[in-house]
Structure 1
């Protein structure tokens, strides 16, 4: 399995890239710094690092072309690159900010990265997958509560948009051989997006590694043909048991 993981230098992306590489997949991971991406990839078996700014169409085209060439194709795209609330409100965990206080350039940056970025990368990769006869797209999302919680503009809307995008992508690609699914941790997760120094004492969070088992399964033969599913990583084992029980 040849997998492209965007935003793979830290957090959820790194956890997924590591799990996939350890399971035997050939992984290309991306980051805005090509040097950083290469350094991180060097720590994973058989992985390669590629520079990618998901907001930039030319960067997307160049990175996908490089990944396709270096991997010998792309069987699965993991759309993960994103930025969080800290970019517009560093104290968002303890000091809620009304949407009217959000700077327009900060709003645009989050939407451009978390939503438009998913669209640009998926569009570039899907064209190639369709020509190759098939492939898999996994879009990473968050809990629904984040999409309507006070103080979560623009992050919440960006992730709600990515979920709607995923459903429409799945509808557009039905019966084409290219599958689309959504994967989310299932709760607040310890990543660079979370200012842990501002978190109430005693509150527990998920670790990024929770994404490992479901992303490895989605890359496996068992997941061939799985389409238009929304999988919660923290509930993956139960979801899989229920799914197998329905078959």
Structure 2
């Protein structure tokens, strides 16, 4: 039996962008730990398909709420529905994200805005709505999914790096504002993970070889590598941890 300080059973957790990829893995881990999990995405069919599979795999209570996390009105209405259906929200995982790669001088303005809205503004909007409810109750956990790109840049993804760097500082700003109300806001920063978002990079033999050489662990990350850190940040074990960015990157950001 695990130590009770890590117990999240019965907690209501919303994971944005959780119909696939790392978001799905985060939601699955929370469901296995006994949370009531709310999945989110823009495509109702995809979200519900993931919900049905997750219920089948875990036996947990899993709900589907499809709404656009970049739309302030949709976020507010979505949070209201979630609390009516599942009860007070205890945990928010701001995971929604998108990537687009292009040389800086060729990056289209609309792609810049799409990346900022999806990766950064969505965390502000969902975080604000969740915090309004959590503040009244004097407790809550918010985990913003940052990235090694919150700290490091590489060619072709300048807007993504800007968004993830902004998310790092939003995390710290939220900590400053919300900490006195009993809310912990932290960031989880994955390194390079074998996901759909990185499929093109994984398929590139030269890049994959560089990742294995550059990372002390000698491999790409796997989704399950993130679940333990997420559970820590969502549990009472992290009640005095606030405004921190925890890198889960196989050591990449620690070495040259």
Q: TM-score, normalised by structure 1?
A: 0.85
**SS state at 1:9 partner:** coil
Question: Which residue matches 1:94?
Answer: none
Q: Does the 8 Å CA contact 1:76/1:219 hold for their aligned counterparts?
A: yes
Quick one: structure 1 residues 147 and 60, their matched pair in 2 at CA, closer, same or farther if it must change by over 3 Å? Answer: farther
Q: Deviations over 1:35-84 (max 9, x none)?
A: 21122112222111110211111211121111122220100100000101
Residue 168 of structure 1, aligned match among 159, 168, 173: 173
Structure 1 runs of 4+ off > 6 angstroms?
A: none
How far residue 17 of structure 1 moved from its aligned partner, in angstroms, is 0.4
Residue 240 of structure 2, aligned match among 204, 207, 225: 225
Q: Does the 8 Å CA contact 1:4/1:29 hold for their aligned counterparts?
A: yes
Q: How does 1:1-247 map to 2 (within 5 A)?
A: 1-44=11-54, 45-85=60-100, 89=101, 97-144=102-149, 147-185=152-190, 187-196=191-200, 198-201=203-206, 202-203=208-209, 204-234=219-249
Quick one: structure 1 residues 34 and 225, their matched pair in 2 at CA, closer, same or farther if it must change by over 3 Å? Answer: farther
**What is the distance in 1 between the residues matched to 2:103 and 2:45?**
37
Structure 1 alignment gaps of length 5 or more: 90-96, 237-247
Q: Does the 8 Å CA contact 2:149/2:160 hold for their aligned counterparts?
A: no
Quick one: structure 1 residues 26 and 166, their matched pair in 2 at CA, closer, same or farther if it must change by over 3 Å? Answer: same
**What is the distance in 2 between the residues matched to 1:9 and 1:157?**
25
Structure 2 alignment gaps of length 5 or more: 1-10, 55-59, 210-218, 252-256
Q: Deviations over 1:200-236 (max 9, x none)?
A: 2553411122111111222223222321121123469
Aligned length: 225
